[in-house]
Chain A
Amino acid sequence: MIFLTQLRGELTKLFARRRTYVGYGVFLVFELILLVTFQIDSIRSKQEEFMVQNGLAADEYFSSLTVTFMVMAFSLFLLGSIYFALVSGDIVAKEVEDGNMRMVLARPVSRFRILLLKFLSTCLYTITFVIFVGITGYAMAVIALGVDGGMMAFSPKMKLFAVYPDWGSGMLRLIIAALLIGISMCTISAIGFLFSCMKMKPATATIMALSVLFLDMVLQEFPIFKPYEANFITYKMSTWLFAFENNFPWAKLVDNFAFLIGLDLSLFAIACVIFQMRDFKT
């Protein structure tokens, strides 16, 4: 019971900051920009042309579900990584920097528990944020395009092309994908969290986390690493796209997400060891 009270306290801290809502606001604006972009004739016609080339009726598949898929994929990939690295890079390092951590450490609570609370609240925040992006993205798309229509999901990198003629099955896959993106994004948060537990400034922790991600992304594009790209972190993080395959790929998803969750837990364990070994002095 007291654990839940403490967790609520951690979430209160996260959600009481103005910057948290700036993040929500930025994502809303970004989603809006993407939606407007998709409405521009030249871009829209390109999308519709792509659908027609694949034997799909453009007025049927250029729908709120398809646009939500695109908005989520673009916005979370581009902005999400930066934003989650920023929040997780702050979560411990900022409290150490501001002296809040000293006040907490003076209490009869273990360092492991403090970190567990922070890690859980970061993960909860990450997942709920992704769901927020999904819901608002869909709401905006509905306002622009209406509710009806099927769904088309595609990703050349992940070799994905899938269509769902009826709204219900498309929406179900979108919900599953949103949850999987949330779990994927927790890996960014776990990397940021690890650096946040080290003796460094919050901004440095964020930069380090982003550096790891970008390095991972760049390396997998090198010809020498191409055959092994499926083993890279950012590739694994993109496997939420498999949730749109028509035959639901349980094995592939379990395999990739077990890896990601295992990685997150390993990063958390390393963070705990580092944090445990640190001295906190005025």
Chain B
Amino acid sequence: MLEVIGLKKKFAGKPALKGVEFSVAKGEIFGLLGHNGAGKSTTLGILLGMVAPDEGETRIDGISVQKNRAEALAKVGAIFESPGFYDYLSGYANLKLLTSYSGGVTKAAIDEVVERVELDDRIHSKVGTYSHGMRQRLALAQALLPEPEVLLLDEPTDGLDPEGIKWFRDFILDLRDNRGMTVLFNSHLLAEVEQMCDRVVILQEGRKVFQGGSADLEEDQLVLKFEVDPPSLLQNLAVEFGGGVKKNNLVLPKTTDIALVVAKAVQNGGQVREVRQVKRSLEDLYLEFSRKVTR
């Protein structure tokens, strides 16, 4: 549904994107991760035709944004971190105005979306009087008009309270599950991305350093938090099972039977206090890449 092909972009001679490539399948929630300045917003800007790439192309449902922007964006709704509404107009007037650039929508369509984002009681108030959460819901409403197939979300949950974040997450998941919406989600809230996204791309200094889903997060080794007395036994176990010790964790071949390791420890006179498999989170992976870049 979304294709990002060999994007390169420099701002004032400084490279912002160095050949970024990825694709998002229909009905997928896809996370775009990276530190500030990694190139997330530039990628999103190029996808929306707001930034011209030096090289490469983006396609939405097969239509090139660079060659046929209007047609490509007809299927897209977008939300930004701080949505720039006209504060002196009502929420309803903002929706009418913004949707007029997409060819206009009916009042019934606006009313339906406003009800879905639970903004019906304040939609005729000036946007200047809205809370941040209400502004984000209005942003969601404008992005859903008129019925997009793709949502591009640029840090949409930033500044929202936990209830707001949960409401937003449930809403997006519902859009995917019940409407088959494709979502590209740009965020640095790793837990949020992990909960929502089917797959992620991690960008580091304009380069793609990881792409994959939750299955790809799994390590090719078995990592055990293995607390045993005496602790010196840990090294013996590692040698015995052909592994090693890393950060006080026992790192063993993936096929190792944990029960056998525990039995061996007891046999050797050890007192096992805790055994737990350590799984790599998205945060671990992200920080791993960050450290690599810092080094």
Contact = CB atoms under 8 A, between A and B. Distances in A.
Interface of A: 2, 5-6, 9, 12-13, 16-18, 95, 98-110, 114, 277, 279-282
Given A13-B89, A109-B70, A282-B154, A6 B100 contact: yes
A103 B89 CA distance: 15
Contacts of A9: 96-97, 100
Nearest to B16: A281
27 contacts: A2-B100, A2-B103, A5-B104, A9-B96, A12-B93, A16-B89, A103-B84, A104-B98, A105-B48, A106-B48, A106-B50, A106-B80, A106-B152, A108-B101, A109-B102, A110-B70, A114-B101, A279-B45, A279-B51, A279-B52, A280-B45, A280-B51, A281-B45, A281-B51, A282-B41, A282-B45, A282-B154
Nearest to B98: A103
B78 interface: yes
Nearest to B83: A103
B100 A5 contact: yes
Interface string B54-91: 00000000000000011111101110111111101100
Given A102-B84, A103-B83, A108 B97 contact: no
Given A5-B100, A9-B97, 16 more contacts: A5-B104, A6-B101, A13-B89, A16-B86, A99-B80, A103-B80, A106-B80, A106-B152, A108-B69, A108-B103, A109-B70, A114-B101, A277-B52, A279-B11, A280-B51, A281-B45
B101 A282 contact: no
B182 interface: no
B142 interface: yes
A281 B48 CA distance: 10
A198 to B, nearest CB: 16
Contact of B42 (A107, A110, A281): A281
Contact of A18 (B76, B78, B88): B88
A31 B104 CA distance: 41
B101 A12 contact: no
Contacts of A104: 98, 101
A100 B72 CA distance: 21
B41 A106 contact: no
Main secondary structure of the interface of A (DSSP, over half): helix
B278 to A, nearest CB: 36
A17 B87 CA distance: 10
Interface residues of B, number: 39
Q: B11, B45, B71 — which one has the most chain A CB atoms within 10 A of its CB?
A: B45
Contact of A101 (B42, B84, B88, B97): B84
Interface in B160-188: none
B71 A103 contact: no
Contact of A107 (B82, B84, B101): B101
A25 to B, nearest CB: 17
A280 B46 CA distance: 9
B50 A17 contact: no
Contacts of A105: 48-50
Contacts of A12: 89, 93, 97
Contact of A108 (B50, B70, B82): B70
A13 B152 CA distance: 26
B142 to A, nearest CB: 7
B165 to A, nearest CB: 20
A108 B102 contact: yes
7 nearest interchain CB pairs?
Answer: A99-B84, A107-B101, A106-B78, A108-B73, A280-B50, A109-B101, A108-B70
A105 B98 CA distance: 10
A5 B70 CA distance: 18
Nearest to B47: A106
Nearest to A282: B41
Nearest to A13: B86
A20 to B, nearest CB: 10
Nearest to B102: A107
Nearest to A10: B97
Contacts of B103: 2, 108
Contacts of A107: 73, 98, 101-102
Contacts of A6: 100-101
Nearest to B139: A103
Nearest to A279: B51
A180 B42 CA distance: 46
Q: A12, A95, A100, A282 — which one has the most chain B CB atoms within 10 A of its CB?
A: A282
A237 B71 CA distance: 42
